[in-house]
Structure 1
């Protein structure tokens, strides 16, 4: 890795408190969300947050910060091919 590659390395921080409050930095966009799943575009790839009674507590895309409240059941980074399938399915659901 040369110095130019090192400059392109992105930073992301995920902080969770008792599965009830999730704070994520490095968020570029909120692709979709409902009370059971959030799909976030982050510096490190697409991140699916699954749970129950999920809602946004705080959102600042300018700072790349999202805070989600509710019962968090799982966090999954999606492969690039998986994102297209998920986006297509969610797109159909939200039409």
Structure 2
């Protein structure tokens, strides 16, 4: 079978004291600011909400990211419905 490699990759999320979030399986950072970080992951679009958020480490080759700040919530959206090309933030800006 010839399946997409990304669908076979695993994803781990480690939240330490609501202040440090380690995520694996990250493919792309869609947008970020102090309160919201939107990531494309192997398991779908992920939105991290919080306060004073900062990306302290990012390695897209390995698919790892470390986010620091006060984490208030993590939300997944299905990859099938939300990540079609041109429908992201930049796609909407350049229509």
Contact 2:30-2:89 at 8 Å conserved across structures: no
Instruction: Report the count of equivalent residues.
Output: 87
Question: C-alpha separation between the residues in 1 aligned to 2:88 and 2:47?
Answer: 11
- RMSD of aligned residue pairs (Cα, Å): 2.5
More helix by share: 1
Runs of 4+, deviation exceeding 4 Å: none
Question: C-alpha separation between the residues in 1 aligned to 2:73 and 2:18?
Answer: 9
Alignment partner, residue 38 of structure 1? 37
Helix, strand or coil for the counterpart of 2:68?
A: strand
* TM-score of the two chains, using structure 2 as the length reference: 0.77
Question: C-alpha separation between the residues in 2 aligned to 1:23 and 1:78?
Answer: 19
What stretches of structure 1 of length at least 5 have no aligned partner?
none
Helix, strand or coil for the counterpart of 1:77?
A: strand
* TM-score of the two chains, using structure 1 as the length reference: 0.77
Question: C-alpha separation between the residues in 2 aligned to 1:4 and 1:31?
Answer: 27
What stretches of structure 2 of length at least 5 have no aligned partner?
none
Q: Is residue 2:67 matched to residue 1:73? A: no
